Amino acid sequence: MLLEVRDLHVEFRTRDGVAKAVNGVTYSVDEGETLAVLGESGSGKSVTAQAVMGILDTPPGKITAGEILFKGQDLLKFKEEERRKVRGAQMAMIFQDALSSLNPVLSVGAQLGEMFTVHRGASRKEAKAKAIELMDRVRIPGAASRVGDYPHQFSGGMRQRIMIAMALALEPALIIADEPTTALDVTVQAQVMDLLAELQRELHMGLILITHDLGVVADVADRIAVMYAGRIVESAPVHDIYKAPAHPYTKGLLESIPRLDQKGRELYAIKGLPPNLMHIPPGCAFNPRCPMAQDVCRTDVPPLYEVTEAGTDRVSACHFWRECLNG
C-alpha cells in the first residue's frame, strides 16, 4: 500500500475552545489508484491532507493520535528535514487557488525550473528545457514562448495546469489534489479534471482527489471515502456506492447531485448544518440530520461496519447500514 492513514486525530486549540477537526480517519491509497474524499465544507478533508503532507498549521493544529504510513514508514516519526525530502519529491499537493500558491513575481518557467535546480542539481539551461517540457505535458499552448510569462498572464484554467505541472515535476508517487477545479468555470473544470486523471494513469501515481462535488468523481475515482465531522462514514468502490449507498449521509449527497434526466425537479438538499466541531453530538455525529435516526444513534458511536452485501471492500459507520442499502 502506498499510503495508509490510520486512526488519525487532529485538534485545533483556539481561544474559544478545542475544535475536533479529525476524529479517527482511516483511509488508504495504492499506487495507480484514485481515492476521492468527499464531504461538506468543514468535514476535515483538507486538515487530513495537510497532516499527510506535513504542512499542518501547528499550532493551533495538533495531531493527537494516529499513524500516517507512506510506503510502510510512519511519517509522523520523521524529523522535519526527512519530511521535507518526502514532500515534493515523493508526494505533492495541488491547491484550489493557483494564484495564491504560485509566486507572483517569478515567471512560471523560473518556478517550474527551480524544482530541477534545487532538487535535482540541474543547470539553468536544463531547468528551462524541463519547464517547457512540463508545460507541454499539461498542454499549455505555445509553451516555449510562454515560459517567461508570469502567473497573472495566464487564465485560471491555464494557471491550474501550471500548478499540476509543479506537482508532477519530480514525478511523485502520490498527489493530493484539494478541490483542484472548484474555482474554475464548469467547462474548464472538466478539462482540468480530465488532464489530471490522464496524467495520473500515465504516471501510475496514487491520487487523493478532495472534492465536495460527487458529480466530478464518478468518472475518475476508483474508490470514494465520505467524511463527516472528521470521520470516514462510508468507503467503497465508486460504482458500488453510486448503485447503493450504505450510509444515509452518502445517500443525501447522492440525491443532491443535479441530474440531466431530472431537469426541473427540485434538488434535494440534506437538511440542517454540519455540527460545531467544539460540540460534536454524542452517538452518531450525523444523527440530528438523519432521516433514519433511532435512539441508539443518539447514544452509541457507530463503528465502521463491514458492508457484506452489495459489493466487497466496503465499510459504513451506520448502525442501520443494511436498512440504508435496501431502502
Ligand X SMILES: Nc1ncnc2c1ncn2[C@@H]1O[C@H](COP(=O)(O)OP(=O)(O)O)[C@@H](O)[C@H]1O
Binding residues for ligand X, rule: CB under 6 A, are 12, 14, 19, 21, 39, 41-47, 57, 60, 277
Among candidate residues 37, 76, 50, 21, the one with its CA nearest the CA of residue 233: 37
For residue 19, give every residue at least 6 positions away whose Cβ sits within 8 Å of its Cβ, in sequence order, or none: 11, 12, 277, 278
C-alpha distances in Å from residue 211, one per residue of 38, 41, 121, 313: 5, 9, 36, 22
Closest to ligand X by CB, 183 vs 203, is 183
Minimum distance from residue 227 beta carbon to ligand X (Å): 7
Q: Quote the cell numbers at residue 194.
A: 480530465
Angle at 182 between CA 237 and CA 38, to 5 degrees: 30
Closest to ligand X by CB, 14 vs 299, is 14
Residue 21 binds: one of Mg ion, ligand X, none (C-beta under 5 to 8 A by kind): ligand X
3-class DSSP state of 210: strand
Measured from each CB, the residue nearest to Mg ion is 46
Rounded to whole angstroms, how far apart are CA atoms 262 and 196? Answer: 29
Residue 185 binds: one of ligand X, Mg ion, none (C-beta under 5 to 8 A by kind): none
Closest to Mg ion by CB, 60 vs 282, is 60
Q: State the DSSP code for 32.
A: T
Residue 70 binds: one of Mg ion, ligand X, none (C-beta under 5 to 8 A by kind): none
Closest to ligand X by CB, 38 vs 140, is 38
Asked if residue 46 binds Mg ion (CB under 5 A), the reply is yes
Residue 60 binds: one of Mg ion, ligand X, none (C-beta under 5 to 8 A by kind): ligand X
For residue 228, give every residue at least 6 positions away whose Cβ sits within 8 Å of its Cβ, in sequence order, or none: 39, 40, 43, 249, 274, 285, 286
C-alpha distances in Å from residue 269, one per residue of 212, 217, 265, 290: 13, 19, 12, 12
Closest to ligand X by CB, 20 vs 130, is 20
Residue 19 binds: one of ligand X, Mg ion, none (C-beta under 5 to 8 A by kind): ligand X
3-class DSSP state of 291: coil
Minimum distance from residue 174 beta carbon to ligand X (Å): 18
Minimum distance from residue 41 beta carbon to Mg ion (Å): 7
Minimum distance from residue 243 beta carbon to ligand X (Å): 25
Angle at 137 between CA 131 and CA 143, to 5 degrees: 55
Do 101 and 110 touch, CB atoms closer than 8 A?
no
Closest to ligand X by CB, 131 vs 176, is 176
Phi, psi for 110 (deg, rounded to 5): -65, -40
Asked if residue 50 binds Mg ion (CB under 5 A), the reply is no
Asked if residue 48 binds Mg ion (CB under 5 A), the reply is no
Do 271 and 258 touch, CB atoms closer than 8 A?
no
Q: Per-residue contact track with Mg ion, 117 to 156, x per CB under 5 A?
A: ----------------------------------------
Q: Which stretch binds Mg ion (CB under 5 A): 9-17, 42-50, 151-159, 246-254?
A: 42-50
Minimum distance from residue 14 beta carbon to ligand X (Å): 6
Closest to ligand X by CB, 19 vs 91, is 19
Binding site for Mg ion (CB under 5 A): 46
